Amino acid sequence: MYEFIKKNIYLIILFIITLSIGFLTFLTFIDKGFIELSDQNLQILLLLNIILLFALFVFIFVEIKSAIKNDIDKDGLKSNKKYITYFGLFTLIPSVLISIFSLFLFSFALEKYFDKKVTTVVNNSYELARSYVEEIRNKIQSDIVLIAFDINKSKKFLNDNQNEYRRFLDTQKLIRNVDEVHIIDINKKILFTTLKDDQLYIPPVDRALNLVLDDDRPLKIINAPENISAAIMRLQNFEDRFLYVVKYLDKDISRYLTESEEAINFYYTVEEKSTGIKISFAIIYIIVVSVLLFVSISIAIRFSSRFFRSINNLILASTSIGQGNFNAKVPEVKTDKDLETLNKNFNLMIDRLKSQQEKLIINERHEAWGSLARKLAHEIKNPLTPIQLTIDRLKNKYSKQLENENENFKENLKIINNQIKQIEKLVNEFSDFARMPKPIFRGNNLVDIIHENINLLKELDNSIDIIFKKDSEKIHLESDKEQISRVFLNLIKNSIESINQKAQNNNDFNKKIAIELTEDDSHIKATIEDNGVGFSELKNNIKDILDPYFTTKKNGTGLGLSIVNKIINDHNGKIDFIPINNGAKINIIFLK
C-alpha cells in the first residue's frame, strides 16, 4: 500500500485538489462557502473544475498506459492483456451505470425537493412564525391603548401618588398580561413603573419617542433579537408624559423566526441554483468515480501482471525446453507463494532433466566409444602375439649369426618390444574402458578412501603439500569402493602431474593440493584445488576434457577423465572443472 501511494503521490495530490475545488463549487452554489456567490465567481470555479478534471483524466490515462507498458506489454502475453481489458470493462461498466443512476436519482430527489407541496410547507412554516410575532405586536398595540385610556380616565384619582400609581400599573399589568408598564417623561426618565428595581429598566430608542411627540397614536416597537415586543404612546391628559409597555416574547421565538428565515432563504437559493448544484455534484461524482476506477484498474494490472508474468515465464521456459535448450530458467520474481513454489519446482525439474540428459549423452557416448574400443582392442591384440613370437624366433635364430651387428640387432629388437608393450598397454586401457563393470553399491566412508589415495600418491612426489579438510571423520556414501577410489586416484594424480608440468618451467613456487570434503542433508561435495598449469588453454571448451581420447598430455590416452566422469554419473553425481588463477579447481557433487 505504501509503495502504491508513493508511486502515485502526484495523482493523489491532484485528486485531493480537484475534489476540494468541486466541493467548494458546490458550497458556493448554495451560498455556504467563503467565496461570495456571484456569476463571475461561479464561472471561474466551473472553469477551474473543468481544467482540473481534464488534467486528472490525462494523468490517469498516462499512468494506466505506463502501467500497461511496464507490467503487461513487456511480458508479451495476450491472455494478460485480455484479462486486464475484461477486468477494466467489468469495473468501468458498473461504475458508469451507477454514476448515471446516481445522477438521475440526485436530479429526481432535487426536483422533489422543490415540489409544490414542499414549497408550500416551507412558506407556511415561515409565515406561521412571522404571524405569531405580528400577533404579539398587534396585541401589545391594543393593550397599550387600553392601558392609556384607563390612565387618562384615572388622572384625578391617581394624583401622582406613587403608591396609587404602582397599584394601578400592577393591576394593568396583570389584566393586560404584559411584563412591564412604565410612565416616562420626555427625557425617557421613569416616573412610575411596575419594576421593583429601576436598574432593570431599558429605555426606548430616541427615534421611537420622537415619533409619538406630536401623535396620539400608539407606536409598535419590536426587537426580535432581544425577544422584546413593546409599544409607546403619548398620554393625552398629561403633559409630556408617555406610556411605555413591554411584552417579552417566548424565549425560542426569535431563534425560530431566524432559523425559518434562513431556511427559506437557503431553500430559494438552492432552487435558483439547482442546475449549478447538479453540475457540481456531477463533477464531484465523476472525480471520485474516476479515481476509484483508476485504483481498481491499477490494482488489476498489478495483480494480473504478478500472476501472468509467472505464467508467461513458465510458457517461455517450457518452449525453450521443448526446443532442446535445457539451460533455460524461469526468472525468480516476487509473486504469490504458490506461483513462487511452482517456479522453483519448474527450475528444479529443468535441472534434473538437464542432468538426466547429460547422463544419457554420457552413457550413449561411453557405449559408442566402448564398442569402438572393444573392436580396436580385438583387432590390435590379434596380431600382437604373432609379432611377439616372430621377434623371439628372429632373436634366437639370428643373434649368433650376426655377431658383428649383434648390439644393433638387439637394440632394434628392444625398441620393437617396447613399442609392442606400449601398444599392449593401450589395448589394455581400451579393454578396461570397454569392460567398465556396473557399480556395486555399499556404504563406504569417503574420508578413508581419500586418505588411502593420498598416502599412496604422496610417494610420487614428496615435495607436494596435500592438505585434506573434512566436516567429519565419517562421511558415508552408497558407492562402489573400487570405482570411487579410482576417481580420486585419477584426479589427485592429474593434479600432481599438472604441478610437475608447471615445475619444469619454474620450480620456484609452493606445490600445493587442497582437498575439501563437506556434507549436508541433500548432497556430499568434494573439492580438489591445485596450483599447477590449470585449464587456461581450455577455458572456452572446458567440457571437451571429458570426451574419450581427448588429452593434452604427450603420452596420454584421453580415457582417464572420461572413466572418472562415467563413474561419477553412475553414482548420481556431477563433476565441474573450474579454471582459476594459478591453477585448477574441480567440484564433485554426489546427491544423496
Task: Tell me the pLDDT of the chain (592 aa) as tens digits.
Answer: 565 566 667 767 777 787 777 777 767 666 677 777 666 776 677 777 778 777 777 776 776 677 666 655 555 455 666 666 676 677 667 767 776 776 676 666 655 555 555 566 666 666 766 777 677 777 888 888 888 888 888 877 777 778 888 888 899 888 888 889 999 998 989 999 998 888 888 888 888 888 888 888 888 776 655 677 888 999 888 888 899 998 887 766 666 666 776 766 666 666 666 666 666 667 766 776 776 676 666 666 666 666 666 777 777 777 777 777 767 777 666 666 777 777 788 778 877 777 777 777 766 766 666 666 666 666 666 677 777 777 777 777 766 666 556 667 777 777 777 777 777 776 776 666 656 667 889 999 999 999 999 988 887 788 889 999 998 999 999 999 989 998 999 899 988 988 888 888 887 788 999 999 999 888 999 999 998 888 766 655 666 566 655 555 555 555 678 788 888 888 888 888 888 888 889 999 998 8
* Per-residue buried b or exposed e for 124-146, using 16+ beta carbons within 10 Å of the residue's own CB: eebeebeeebeebbebbbebbbe
Residue 313 zone, left/alpha/beta (φ > 0; ψ -120 to 50; rest): alpha
Are the CB atoms for 531 and 582 separated by under 8 Å?
yes
C-alpha cell at position 164: 396609587
- One-letter amino acid for residue 70 of the chain: N
What per-residue confidence (pLDDT) applies to 586?
A: 92
The continuous run of DSSP H or E covering 586 comes out as strand 583-591
CA atoms within 13 A on the CB side of 250: 10
Torsion of the alpha carbons at 72, 78, 80 and 82, rounded to the nearest 10: 120
Rounded Cα distance between 512 and 464, Å, is 6
Distances (CA, A) of 91 to 66, 85, 95, 111, 122: 19, 10, 6, 30, 42
Rounded Cα distance between 274 and 566, Å, is 91
| 23 burial level (CB within 10 Å; 0-12, 13-18, 19+) | middle
Rounded Cα distance between 32 and 262, Å, is 12
Domains 142-263 and 436-591 share a fold: no
Rounded Cα distance between 416 and 424, Å, is 12
Q: Per DSSP, what are the bridge partners of residue 524? A: 519, 590
Rounded Cα distance between 81 and 349, Å, is 29
In 261-369, the DSSP E strands lie at none
Q: Does the structural domain 142-263 have CATH classification 3.40.1840.10?
A: yes
Rounded Cα distance between 531 and 289, Å, is 72
Rounded Cα distance between 99 and 290, Å, is 10
**Fold that domain 436-591 belongs to in CATH:** Heat Shock Protein 90 (3.30.565)
Rounded to a whole number of angstroms, the CA Rg of the chain reads 57
Rounded Cα distance between 513 and 526, Å, is 13
User: What pTM did the predictor assign?
Assistant: 0.43
Alpha-carbon 282 to chain mean position: 32
Pairing of strands 228-234, 219-223: antiparallel
Are the CB atoms for 535 and 542 separated by under 8 Å?
yes
What per-residue confidence (pLDDT) applies to 49?
A: 72
- One-letter amino acid for residue 13 of the chain: I
Rounded Cα distance between 584 and 529, Å, is 6
What per-residue confidence (pLDDT) applies to 281?
A: 67
Rounded Cα distance between 527 and 7, Å, is 48
What per-residue confidence (pLDDT) applies to 23?
A: 72
C-alpha cell at position 251: 424565549
- Domain ranges for the chain, please list them: 2-113+273-314, 142-263, 336-434, 436-591
Q: Within a 10 A sphere around the Cβ of 468, how many other Cβ atoms?
A: 13
Rounded Cα distance between 545 and 528, Å, is 16
| 95 burial level (CB within 10 Å; 0-12, 13-18, 19+) | middle
Helix residue spans in 8-161 (DSSP H): 9-29, 39-68, 78-113, 116-153, 155-158
Helix axes 116-153, 253-272, angle to 10 degrees: 150
